[in-house]
Structure 1
Amino acid sequence: MVACYQGFMDIVFLLAGCPHLDVNWQDKEGNTALMIASQAGHITITNYLLNYFSGIDIERRNVHGFTALMKAGMQGKTDCVRALMLAGADMNATDPGRGFTPQQWAQFTGRFETFCLMRKLLARPCPVQFSDRYKPEWPKLKELVAKANEPKNCLEKLCETIRSTLTINFPRDPEEDGPLDHMVRMTTAISSPFVATGCRTICPSSPPCVGKRRFTVQEILRKQKSPTMKASAKEYTKQQKLFQNSHLVMVPKKKERRASLPPMTSPSKHGTAASSRRGSLMPLSMMKWSSVQPGIVVPKVRIFKAPTPTYEPERIRRKSSAKRSSNFLELPQWRYKELKEERKKAEEEEKRKAEEAERERAAKLAAKRKS
């Protein structure tokens, strides 16, 4: 909850791999992590909670009877409202106090941009370009081309010229199903080269839709898992037991092989087979990509036999800061610090001389008294 409130994305990604985490846990006011993230407007965390935390309850209510969609609509967080609506949040849910729906709460609190977004999504609830059956051809193109190629007489040409000259074009919203709308759909479709090279869809036959419950990635993969994949997983676990105490060394190849699509799990940082835990299924948009050469390097793995239990690695003693070699760089000494150290040394020298003079004077007095 604290990570969702503060916007700590890395913490949320790490907690996705924790099996003992209850994502629907509520605080004293009844708010869940999804409510906190959507109310704060952290769209990346909201999408990650909806897509990668299995068993998340979108319709969980707090003590006031508000859902996550209501709280996001009250605060005017349009991106979070869109994500919750496409994840299947109930638009007809009402609170026990005023009995308002999320759309009515957005209108009541003056969030007119969010209210208009809800109306647009309800008018067109399903983004058809996210389906594998989408065709990028513009249906109105043939009709407009045929209309433009029709023969016109002189009177019609004159009227069209006068109308185009005297017409004042005011700024307005894009035309419904117009060329701009079609361009946006075509460039954001899963078959578009802009999207196909950057991500991989696991359910292209079932695009998100308003009012339809959307499953998480783990649930979809669990349903799509075939018996052959289960058998390969068993073979992998057997091989993993054989090399449980082995040491892995990552050796990159001279010629880098680039994969068009990255795997769902990333290799371990330290390269040990014992630490091969399941990744948090971080979305591909969160991974670090190379803008020049996209993809990942496929490394070569060498396996060595583990050392004996009595083996102790050689300890390399670090050189003390007092005995520094001339090969190492030293911190720069500022002028004011040098003057300060010189002044301190001069004061210590004067103090030492004064103590020696005092001792000599005391010795002379003692010698006179004895004589």
Structure 2
Amino acid sequence: MPQRVDRTGLLVACYQGYVDIVIALSQCPHIDVNWQDNDGNTALITASQAGHITITNYLLNYYSDLDLEKRNIHGFTALMKASIQGRTDCVRALMLAGADIQAVDPNRGFTAREWARFTGRYDTAYLMQRLIDKPSPEQFSNQFQMEWPKMKELLAKAAEPKSCAQKISECFKSAFTFNYFNDPEEDGVLDHMVKITTSINSPFVAISCRTVCPDSPPCVGKRRYSVQEILRKQRANESRVLDKNRTKSYEKLFNNATVTVISKKKDRRASLQPHSSQRTDVKATRRTSLLPLNLLRRSSVRPGYIIPKVRITKAPTPTYYPEKMKRSSSAKDKTYLEIPKWRYKEIKEERKKAEEEALRKLKEAEKEKQKKIVKKRSFT
């Protein structure tokens, strides 16, 4: 039984951070992206725990058969490993790709967020809590509105008549001001400005391309499909629309086309003659879908019985064996590409040839000596 290979090229590229190799391997149809090494780590687990965010995003977006919930021998998923190592960017990418945030490991029973707290990765735990509170980034969808939703409410409040107590309190507030540092409010002005400057329809950012599915933005807990799967669905929808249009055109052609059927008693070639009004043939109409009228009239000329052609050949003798054709080697034929040889292999082959040549010369010299010794003994 062959020994199992520990790591594939994709796993090594994800571990070392070779982005170009990961991109090139995505074009290979025989790559198993969910392959596990002896520790049970997949390419996604390796890239996310190493903190390679570019490779992690490429695996999530361009490898269609990627399994987000694959576990290693310790029962950790890619989200758990990224949380333990404090890889904040990878945690965000995995959560927005649909990784299960409620999954627990079999040993301690901790979720990914609990593992982040247990290992002291408080920034990662805070980010996960923020994503759980706001699971869908609305600035990436087409439904995002540029207007600040609280603007109308604040304008209506400012337009209301103020009482005497409110005027006095405003005077005191304007007279005694204390500058304290406060965090930006939730859905406040700063939050709204960040959304505007990072949205698809932003007037401040020149967008050169759009997302593949702007109607379905990424969301925590929602499975995000790869680019190939999304394009495949779009092509299926487009072909379905085209098929509907084709069936409508075929139905119109079917309703408009009629064919005259000739009686069997008459000559079949009569269908090629010009149609006369005095003919007493039995006429019937039938519907057709695609072929025009003249082609279907010609089809009646075909004979009713087809005589097959039989070829008779002499049987070979019992001792007959077919000659084996010698195929010309592709190495001599210059029309085919040859596998390039590495320099160290060429040096190795040259050394081997030199050693074989030296052995051959040594054997020839020994044979000559043996012949001389035999000649001397014969003379004596």
For the aligned pair, the TM-score class normalised by the smaller chain equals 0.5 to 0.7
Instruction: Give the Cα–Cα distance (whole angstroms) in 2 for the partners of residues 153 and 166 of structure 1.
Output: 20
The percent identity for this pair of structures is: 65
1:163-312 matches, within 5 Å, as: 163-193=173-203, 197-225=207-235, 226-227=238-239
CA contact (8 A) 2:44 2:59 kept: yes
Instruction: Give the Cα–Cα distance (whole angstroms) in 2 for the partners of residues 80 and 224 of structure 1.
Output: 28
Query: TM (normalized to structure 1)?
Result: 0.59
Instruction: Give the Cα–Cα distance (whole angstroms) in 2 for the partners of residues 148 and 2 of structure 1.
Output: 62
Instruction: Give the Cα–Cα distance (whole angstroms) in 2 for the partners of residues 48 and 160 of structure 1.
Output: 55
The structure-2 alpha-carbon separation of the partners of 1:44 and 1:193, relative to structure 1 and needing over 3 Å to count, comes to farther
Deviation at 1:193, TM superposition (A): 4.4
CA contact (8 A) 2:45 2:78 kept: yes
**Greater Cα shift, 170-179 or 42-51:** 170-179
Deviation at 1:163, TM superposition (A): 2.1
The structure-2 alpha-carbon separation of the partners of 1:34 and 1:164, relative to structure 1 and needing over 3 Å to count, comes to farther
Deviation at 1:141, TM superposition (A): 0.4
1:78 aligns with 2:88: yes
Deviation at 1:18, TM superposition (A): 1.2
Instruction: Give the Cα–Cα distance (whole angstroms) in 2 for the partners of residues 170 and 79 of structure 1.
Output: 31
CA contact (8 A) 2:96 2:218 kept: yes
Instruction: Give the Cα–Cα distance (whole angstroms) in 2 for the partners of residues 230 and 32 of structure 1.
Output: 41
1:136 to 111, 127, 146: 146
Say what the alpha-carbon RMSD is for the aligned residues: 2.4
Query: TM (normalized to structure 2)?
Result: 0.57
Instruction: Give the Cα–Cα distance (whole angstroms) in 1 for the partners of residues 204 and 240 of structure 2.
Output: 32
The structure-2 alpha-carbon separation of the partners of 1:112 and 1:167, relative to structure 1 and needing over 3 Å to count, comes to farther
**Which residue pairs with 2:361 in the alignment?**
none
1:39 aligns with 2:49: yes
Instruction: Give the Cα–Cα distance (whole angstroms) in 1 for the partners of residues 181 and 55 of structure 2.
Output: 35
1:25 aligns with 2:3: no
**Which residue pairs with 1:8 in the alignment?**
18
**Which residue pairs with 2:126 in the alignment?**
116
**Which residue pairs with 2:99 in the alignment?**
89
Deviation at 1:173, TM superposition (A): 2.4
Which secondary structure does the structure 2 equivalent of 1:25 belong to? coil
The structure-2 alpha-carbon separation of the partners of 1:168 and 1:74, relative to structure 1 and needing over 3 Å to count, comes to farther
Instruction: Give the Cα–Cα distance (whole angstroms) in 1 for the partners of residues 204 and 80 of structure 2.
Output: 34
Instruction: Give the Cα–Cα distance (whole angstroms) in 2 for the partners of residues 124 and 171 of structure 1.
Output: 24
CA contact (8 A) 2:79 2:99 kept: yes
Deviation at 1:153, TM superposition (A): 5.7
What does the per-residue CA deviation read over 1:142-174, in whole Å, with 9 as the maximum and x for residues that have no partner? 111222233446653342232244343332322
- Structure 2: which amino acid aligns with 1:80? C
**Which residue pairs with 1:104 in the alignment?**
114
**Greater Cα shift, 40-49 or 190-199:** 190-199
1:66 aligns with 2:76: yes
- Structure 2: which amino acid aligns with 1:53? Y
CA contact (8 A) 2:142 2:215 kept: yes
Determine which structure has greater relative contact order: mean sequence separation of CA pairs < 8 Å that are 6+ residues apart, divided by chain length.
Answer: 1
**Which residue pairs with 2:287 in the alignment?**
none
Please say which structure displays the higher CA radius of gyration.
2
Deviation at 1:229, TM superposition (A): 11
- Structure 1: which amino acid aligns with 2:239? P
The structure-2 alpha-carbon separation of the partners of 1:87 and 1:162, relative to structure 1 and needing over 3 Å to count, comes to same
